[in-house]
Amino acid sequence: MKFPPASDIRRMRKAMDVTQTELAKQSGVSQSTIAKIERGRISASYDTVVKLFETLDEMAKGGKHDVTAADVASKDIVSVQSTDRVRVASELMRTAGFSQLPVLKGDTPVGSISERSIFEKIRSGKTMDDIKDAPISTIMDDSFPVVNESTPMSSVTAMMSDCNAVLVARKGKLVGMITKADILKLI
């Protein structure tokens, strides 16, 4: 089972409105140990991290606290502008290890670009030279849906049956992105 980094314990706990004391009581890990892990003062053992994440997961499933989009979203959004060239997106996907990126116009989502959309253009007869210097706007797909940070994850996962990612916003400003890989980290 793969878990998010130990540094996410505090973020998840806070998002669920759980105190360190409550988490300690439920997990059997002392409150002082949880505090030290959250502050990065100690490196917790794998077993301790597993125990804390499993406890948080059980608490979320127990209905007491719903896991929201903000709990799961990656905070660093890697994106491209609609006016960038396809080669910029291709290079960014390759170096960052992503298969798709949101396309923005300024700060507003206007589309998405993926390895698949680039390959489809090549398969349809375009040459690499035709594609690499074309503006992203000429081959981009629809934008990923945008949800509020308080949207329950059950709603987000339902949306993701039709798309590869969901953007997360707070007061109209993008603050994160959820991909299928982010959801798999919860398992």
Alpha helix positions (H), the chain: 8-15, 20-27, 31-38, 46-61, 69-72, 86-96, 115-123, 128-132, 153-159, 180-184
Specify the higher pLDDT residue, 177 or 62.
Answer: 177
Q: Are residues 76 and 60 in the same domain?
A: no
Question: pLDDT tier at 3 (50, 70, 90 boundaries)?
Answer: low
Q: Are residues 79 and 52 in the same domain?
A: no
Question: pLDDT tier at 9 (50, 70, 90 boundaries)?
Answer: confident
Does residue 158 sit within a domain? Answer: yes
How many Cβ atoms from other residues are within 10 Å of residue 73's Cβ? 24
Q: Are residues 33 and 52 in the same domain?
A: yes
Q: Which residues have CB under 8 Å from 85's CB, separation 6+?
A: 132, 133, 134, 135, 136
Q: Which residues have CB under 8 Å from 134's CB, separation 6+?
A: 85, 86
Are the C-beta atoms of residues 83 and 77 closer than 8 Å to each other? no
Q: Are residues 144 and 99 in the same domain?
A: yes
Q: Are residues 58 and 137 in the same domain?
A: no
For the four alpha carbons of 87, 93, 94 and 99, in that order, the dihedral sign comes to negative
Counted domains in the chain: 2
How is residue 138 annotated by DSSP?
Answer: G
Question: pLDDT tier at 65 (50, 70, 90 boundaries)?
Answer: low
Identify how many contiguous H helices and E strands the chain contains and give both numbers.
10, 6
How many Cβ atoms from other residues are within 10 Å of residue 62's Cβ? 9
- Return left, alpha or beta for 28; rule: phi > 0 is left, psi -120 to 50 is alpha, else beta: left
Question: pLDDT tier at 50 (50, 70, 90 boundaries)?
Answer: confident
Are the C-beta atoms of residues 110 and 103 closer than 8 Å to each other? yes
Which pLDDT score, from 0 to 100, does residue 30 have? 93
Domain encompassing residue 78: 72-184
Q: Are residues 108 and 125 in the same domain?
A: yes
